[in-house]
Amino acid sequence: MALLLHAEPKESPRFVLSVLVASDGSRWAGTEGEGLFVRGGGSECDWRRDMEFASVGGTNVFALCEDSAGRVWAGTLDHGVCVLDQQGWTRFSVEEGLPGSHVFALCADSDDNVWVSTDGGICRYSRSENCLFLYDRASGFEGGEVVALAASPRGDVLIGTACNGVYRARRKDSWRVLERVQTRAVRVNDISISRKGSCLLVSNEGVEYDEKCSGSDFKVAWVRQPGRPKPLACAFSEDVLLVGFEEHGLKTFSGTVLKSSIWRDYSKDRITALSCNKYVGLAGTYGAGVVEWSEVRRGGVANPRKQQRGFTCRKRF
């Protein structure tokens, strides 16, 4: 997909609500009131504000994802969802059947579906059938604002709500119904599923982990004590588990231990969003732009099991 956008040079996001590392290496950052920003892969260094998107989707971007065809989807505050393909940005709103205009969360599965959470409910767009499927009480969904969506490698989708726990849609059931997931979490903030199928869940109640993403084997890994900062975002950087906090920056997670911040200079940031692929990661902050890092491996080339993993990073304003 060509990355030729109407953009202004040398601008940077600050109040970041969503981030995406796309398959072509481009980086995306959705913001509150500042619009959508993009930075190319390779030697491209500057963030650029996407001016074409601003004319279609406005300046508030709450969610980002990439579908199986390589198209970028952006969820907005009051303009529905916008999709980027070779022809440019296209907007889908209530007029096209979307249940609401305020989009909270997006995710794409491996079966040409894009899941969209709005202020009017949750729906699934099937690209192969070119139609929307809506979910309500008849589908097993008992309501609640959906704030997190994540698809597993086998095609199941986990759905996290702001006040009603977690649901799951099974691929083997053609995603017809949503079922409750056994978890301690009530007020979910984010869900991430690794390429191997492990699941990490962060909520106001703490951190939970399901090694096989079975939906019935979540184990409490860390309990948040009253008054402590909330974990707002989570992600997998290959096998490294990352948790972003509202005040304490980005931490790695191991077993039942949240380790110290990866980068001391950024330990007080409010981490609002995370996105990683095999080589690079992005952490969106509220007020301090985007932290970008790359993973490096040291030693043990002949024996990968002896390799030591580390991170380098840089921050862009």
Phi-psi region of 140 (alpha: psi -120 to 50; beta: other; left: phi over 0): left
Q: pTM for the full model?
A: 0.90
- Beta-carbon contacts of 126 under 8 Å, excluding residues fewer than 6 positions away, are 112, 113, 132, 133
Phi-psi region of 50 (alpha: psi -120 to 50; beta: other; left: phi over 0): beta
Residue 123 buriedness (CB in 10 A; 0-12 / 13-18 / 19+): buried
**The two structure tokens encoding residue 128:** 């192969």
- Beta-carbon contacts of 305 under 8 Å, excluding residues fewer than 6 positions away, are none
Per-residue pLDDT of the chain (317 residues; tens, 9 = 90+): 333 344 444 678 999 999 999 999 999 999 999 999 999 865 556 899 999 999 999 999 999 999 999 999 999 999 999 999 999 999 999 998 999 999 999 999 989 899 999 999 999 999 888 889 999 999 999 888 999 999 999 999 999 999 999 999 999 999 999 999 999 999 999 999 998 899 999 999 999 999 877 767 888 988 999 889 999 999 998 778 899 999 888 888 876 666 667 666 667 889 999 999 878 889 999 999 998 888 655 444 444 344 445 566 665 54
- Domain at 7-316, CATH from 2.40.50.140, 3.40.640.10, 1.10.1060.10, 2.130.10.10: 2.130.10.10
CB-CB contact of 226 with 212 (8 Å): no
